[in-house]
């Protein structure tokens, strides 16, 4: 079938298998062109199929020669419906990894469930023995609690009072003002239950109790802080409360793991176009302006560049580790540089529909968005007939 993008707001309901494979290949090539990392050898990535999790799996495998287990929630193709992008990405990843002689396994299902945790533990026991790095990169709108069976939904809202700011419809290029009403207390609690650290802690506890965490194992999860203008909707909003919980969890896990020489961190990453970030009001306009400024200054990085830097400079540096023992690693340092932020803020006050293509990188945003689903990728013939049914080699 001929696969074209079909968008509904910030969602694209189709994905292109060859485009996704090409995107994965480009990330693999980037990592292979960098100096090798003396890093982990057996890695579990939870939330491994897109965005920062996929970049982590690729960096571990092709930067450090690691065997990997990826856990993710994606759908296979069915009839005329294409698979989701994460499915095609993972199929391409597995092929590349196996061609390189690396072991790789994919577990498709709900990472929040006990069943998927047990299946992952059994797989690690059978195939790898232990893992020495666990990356937790799940971004989800809902979570069913494994013990109580209660389903929680996360919302992206301010806390305390309504918030008004500029936002962007990146399809049309229209800049308008949006007002978001504050979250209720229950919405804050539910967002923390979905995006806070509880599930990460459960993973580490269960892996540890099952004896599949190697001596000295490291774990890392991802967070965001961002500039003043997005604080009300992000860092001081519902999602920020969840990130506070995640960061607190890192301290607890560090206490637990350090008894065996292990470590737990939260890495604060740069704002980038992913399926999750495109759903947050205000953020796509901020990212478009940020991209333009960072590209002009030669500072722009994508997911794979960010994660390669995280591994090679922070988690597994060649020389002495610069980590100061605090649970937070900042790879958002270039985004938060004073000169970058000053320029973005200057543009922010002027941004409107008439000047958005001049002051912000709307084209770059759109390109990144469509590339998430395997579209707008050089070297792919989008008029050609392709089979949407693609198997993931080592999937359970
Ligand atoms: P993403 O949407 O690209 O990836 C989310 C991953 O989670 C996918 O692999 C998906 O399959 C998986 N997933 C979702 N629900 C699942 C479930 N129930 N079971 C198993 N897997 C599930 O998101 P992302 O932007 O890469 O976000 C990853 C982390 O990075 C999040 O913690 C996010 O807050 C953080 N982060 C993102 C940005 C950004 O700008 N995108 C910046 C800093 C930090």
Which atom of ligand 1 lies at the shortest distance from residue 246's CA? 32
C-alpha dihedral, 379 to 381 to 385 to 389, nearest 10°: 40
Substitution site in 139, 198, 199, 249 for ligand 1 pocket (most atoms within 8 Å of beta carbon): 139
Which atom of ligand 1 lies at the shortest distance from residue 195's CA? 32
Which residue in the block uniquely carries the two structure tokens 């973005």? 344
Tell whether 130 is covered by a domain: yes
Which residue in the block uniquely carries the two structure tokens 């605090």? 326
321 vs 255, residue with greater confidence: 255
Tell whether 377 is covered by a domain: no
Substitution site in 138, 334, 365 for ligand 1 pocket (most atoms within 8 Å of beta carbon): 138
Residue 151: strand pairing partners:
144
Residue 170 has pLDDT above 70, yes or no: yes
Instruction: Determine how many CB atoms are found less than 10 A away from the CB of residue 130.
Output: 17
Residue 279 has pLDDT above 90, yes or no: no
How far are the Cα atoms of 42, 49, 248 from residue 267, in angstroms, in the given order? 20, 19, 13
CATH number of the domain that residue 217 is part of: 3.40.50.720
Residue 321 has pLDDT above 80, yes or no: no
Identify the band that residue 202 occupies on the pLDDT scale cut at 50, 70 and 90.
Answer: very high
Identify the band that residue 72 occupies on the pLDDT scale cut at 50, 70 and 90.
Answer: very high
pLDDT of residue 232: 93
Mean model confidence pLDDT for the chain: 96
Q: What distance in angstroms lies between residue 136's CA and the mean position of ligand 1's atoms?
A: 9
Tell whether 39 is covered by a domain: yes
Tell whether 1 is covered by a domain: no
**Residue nearest ligand 1's atom 24 by CA:** 51
| C-alpha to C-alpha distance for 58 and 303, rounded to whole angstroms | 11
Tell whether 318 is covered by a domain: yes
Q: Which amino acids are annotated catalytic?
A: 234
Identify the band that residue 87 occupies on the pLDDT scale cut at 50, 70 and 90.
Answer: very high
Find out whether the beta carbon of 278 lies less than 6 Å from any atom of ligand 1: no
Percentage of the chain modeled with pLDDT above 70: 98
334-361 residue pLDDT tens: 999 999 999 999 999 999 999 999 999 9
CA distance from start to end of the chain: 27
Token pair listed for 62: 């092709």
* Residue 156, domain extent: 13-371
Mean pLDDT over 74-87 rounds to 96
pLDDT of residue 141: 95
Q: Mean pLDDT lowest for which of 41-45, 71-75, 118-122, 317-321?
A: 317-321
Tell whether 395 is covered by a domain: no
Tell whether 216 is covered by a domain: yes
Spatial contact of 37 and 62, defined as CB atoms under 8 Å apart: no
Spatial contact of 21 and 88, defined as CB atoms under 8 Å apart: yes
Identify the band that residue 84 occupies on the pLDDT scale cut at 50, 70 and 90.
Answer: very high
364-378 residue pLDDT tens: 999 999 999 999 999
Find out whether the beta carbon of 224 lies less than 6 Å from any atom of ligand 1: yes
Find out whether the beta carbon of 51 lies less than 6 Å from any atom of ligand 1: yes
pLDDT of residue 322: 65
Number of structural domains (the chain) is 1
Residue 202, judged by CB atoms within 10 A of its CB (0-12, 13-18, 19+), counts as middle
Tell whether 237 is covered by a domain: yes
């Amino acid at each position: 079938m001929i696969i074209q993008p079909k968008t509904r707001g910030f969602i694209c309901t189709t994905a292109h298998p060859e485009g996704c494979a090409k995107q994965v290949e480009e990330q693999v090539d980037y990592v292979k062109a960098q100096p090798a990392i003396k890093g982990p050898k057996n890695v579990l990535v939870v939330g491994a199929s897109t965005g920062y999790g996929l970049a982590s799996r690729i960096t571990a495998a092709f930067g450090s020669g690691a065997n990997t287990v990826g856990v993710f929630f994606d759908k296979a193709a069915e009839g005329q419906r294409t698979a989701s992008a994460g499915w095609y990405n993972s199929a391409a990843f597995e092929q590349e990894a196996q061609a390189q002689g690396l072991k790789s396994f994919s577990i498709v299902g709900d990472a929040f469930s006990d069943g998927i945790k047990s299946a992952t533990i059994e797989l690690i026991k059978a195939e790898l023995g232990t893992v020495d790095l666990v990356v937790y990169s799940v971004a989800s709108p809902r979570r069913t609690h494994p013990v109580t069976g209660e389903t929680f939904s996360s919302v992206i809202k301010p806390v305390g009072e309504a918030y008004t700011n500029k936002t962007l419809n990146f399809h049309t290029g229209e800049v308008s003002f949006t007002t978001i009403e504050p979250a209720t207390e229950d919405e804050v609690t539910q967002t923390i239950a979905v995006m806070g650290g509880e599930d990460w802690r459960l993973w580490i506890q269960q892996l540890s109790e099952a004896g599949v965490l190697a001596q000295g194992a490291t774990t890392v999860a991802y967070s965001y802080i961002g500039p003043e203008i997005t604080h009300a909707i992000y860092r001081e909003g519902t999602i920020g409360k969840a990130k506070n919980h995640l960061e607190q969890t890192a301290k607890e896990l560090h206490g637990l793991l350090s008894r065996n020489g292990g470590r737990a961190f939260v890495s604060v990453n740069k704002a980038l176009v992913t399926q999750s970030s495109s759903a947050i009001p205000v953020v796509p306009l901020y990212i478009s302006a940020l991209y333009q400024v960072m590209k002009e200054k030669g500072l722009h990085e994508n997911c794979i560049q960010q994660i390669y830097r995280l591994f090679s400079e922070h988690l597994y540096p060649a020389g002495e580790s610069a980590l100061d023992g605090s649970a937070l690693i900042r790879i958002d340092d270039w985004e938060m540089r004073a000169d970058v932020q000053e320029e973005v803020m200057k543009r922010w006050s002027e941004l409107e529909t008439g000047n958005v293509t001049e002051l912000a990188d709307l084209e770059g945003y759109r390109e990144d968005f469509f590339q998430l689903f395997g579209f707008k990728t050089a070297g792919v013939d989008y008029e050609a007939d392709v089979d949407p049914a693609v198997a993931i080699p080592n999937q359970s």
